[in-house]
Amino acid sequence: EPEVTQTPSHQVTQMGQEVILRCVPISNHLYFYWYRQILGQKVEFLVSFYNNEISEKSEIFDDQFSVERPDGSNFTLKIRSTKLEDSAMYFCASTRLAGGTDTQYFGPGTRLTVL
């Protein structure tokens, strides 16, 4: 069964450093998403992406965040200058269709620790 993959599984970085989290969505999916889950808290939407541009983004997704689909398979989340409060699990997801009825398939997550 096809699945969403994410790398690395765990990333440790110093405050102020840039990090890039990588995702490979399911190959025939067209819509891509990033979420984050701070330890013990709810899963929060960050951004959705379609046709090489951002469709929607939340208040969390400020100027320090960016997303990119650099090639036909990868979907990346960049955090320009990490802060302690960016420490969280980051989940990538993809769907084949838009409109909300389609199931979002989630990757296993990247645990980001900012020291």
Contact window for another protein (CB under 8 A) among 18-26, 63-71, 79-87, 106-114: 106-114
CB 84 within 8 A of CB 24: no
Is residue 24 a contact point for another protein (CB under 8 A)?
Answer: no
Q: Which stretch binds another protein (CB under 8 A): 40-48, 59-67, 71-79, 80-88?
A: 40-48
Start-end of H helices in 14-90: none
Strand pairing class (65-68; 31-37):
unpaired
Least separation in angstroms between residue 14's CB and another protein is: 25
Asked if 42 is part of the footprint of another protein (rule: CB under 8 A), the reply reads yes
Q: Contacts for 39-43 with beta carbons within 8 Å, 24 or more apart?
A: 39/87, 39/88, 39/89, 43/91
Give me the residues that bind another protein (CB under 8 A), please: 31, 33, 35, 41-45, 48, 50, 55-56, 58, 91, 93, 98-101, 103-109
